Homo-oligomer: A and B are copies of this chain.
Amino acid sequence: MLAGEPRAIARAITLIENDAPEGHDLVRLLYPRSGRAHVIGVTGPPGAGKSTLVNGLTSAFRRRGRTVGVVAVDPSSPFTGGAVLGDRVRMGAHAQDAGVFVRSMATRGQLGGLSRATGDAALVMDAAGRDVVIIETVGVGQDEVDIVRAADVSVVVLVPGAGDDVQAMKAGIMEIADVFVVNKADHEGADELVRAIAAALALQPASDGAWTPPIVKTEATTGLGIDDLCAAIDAFEAGGGGRGRRAQARAEHRLREVLAQRAVEDVARRLPPAAFEEMTARVARREIDPYSAAGALIAQAWPVQA
């Protein structure tokens, strides 16, 4: 896996995803070997063409001789066959290139949460020597936005027409962008969208030496503007942003997340087997409220010591 062998990377991610003790041992081994990759978060509303853009970015980085890992947080449904089919479809032009590794994550049924699973997949790709790790999410949900916020550089993709400008502004993703992309720039309304973003940015309180997010126009389907996007990402890194800048925030996010999960597991382990179920039934019957119920379970699991 450390040599970058794709099947070994895939197996390692699966092992960690399943939240088994072997997976945690693997994280322990890989963690000191990670931290070298440049983590790029890409987010935006559904239909903004993020996947095509990420494909284009991947090609651009490959042309520059850099290896790429992609973690795509794809809302998936049991109806569609979910994430596995998605990987094969997404690989597209890169299917034969060992320098590209793509992993789709389902947003449902992740043990311990989407954010933990995404972070672990990125960690494996990082430790496996990928120069660039791109994390792609649909930027509407809270978890999904938080994932991208923790990247070294956050790219927000918007698109003219599909939902109005106000929709984009309301999407809660304006304030996390280090770089804006107006994709489908050949569509009507692209220039208006660029102006609307610029106007929204102008309303932000100015701070000395602060980075002003550039707005890059792209046509992901033809590749137009992709090199400009790479340049904007590089400029952000060169300007004191970029790699390592958010390491502290990312570490805190991950530690909090794992701590919450582990704490609940620890409570569960110290309680009698049926305690949680019985308390749930009492909450459902409205005999006790969730706050009191949680307090009672914690007090039972971890009695205060004299």
Which residues of A pack against B, CB within 8 Å?
24, 27-28, 30-32, 34-35, 45-47, 74-80, 106-108, 113-114, 138, 140-145, 162-163, 166-167, 169-175, 200, 203-204, 247-248, 250-252, 254-264, 266-267, 276, 279-281, 283-284, 286-295, 297-298, 302, 305
Contacts and interface: CB of A to CB of B under 8 A. Distances in A.
Q: Which of A79, A141, A279 has the most CB of B within 10 A?
A: A141
B267 A254 contact: no
A261 to B, nearest CB: 8
Given A76-B172, A255-B280, A259-B264, A28 B142 contact: no
Given A170-B76, A255-B279, A298-B263, A108 B142 contact: yes
Contacts of A78: 175
B140 A175 contact: no
Please report whether the interface of chain A is mostly helix, strand, loop or mixed according to DSSP: helix
Given A143-B141, A248-B281, A294-B262, A286 B31 contact: yes
B107 A170 contact: no
Contact of A77 (B27, B138, B174, B289): B174
Contacts of A143: 141-143
Contacts of A113: 142
Q: Which of A30, A32, A175, A254 has the most CB of B within 10 A?
A: A254
A197 to B, nearest CB: 10
Contacts of A76: 170, 172
B108 A289 contact: no
Given A79-B169, A140-B144, A144-B142, A258 B290 contact: yes
A27 B248 contact: no
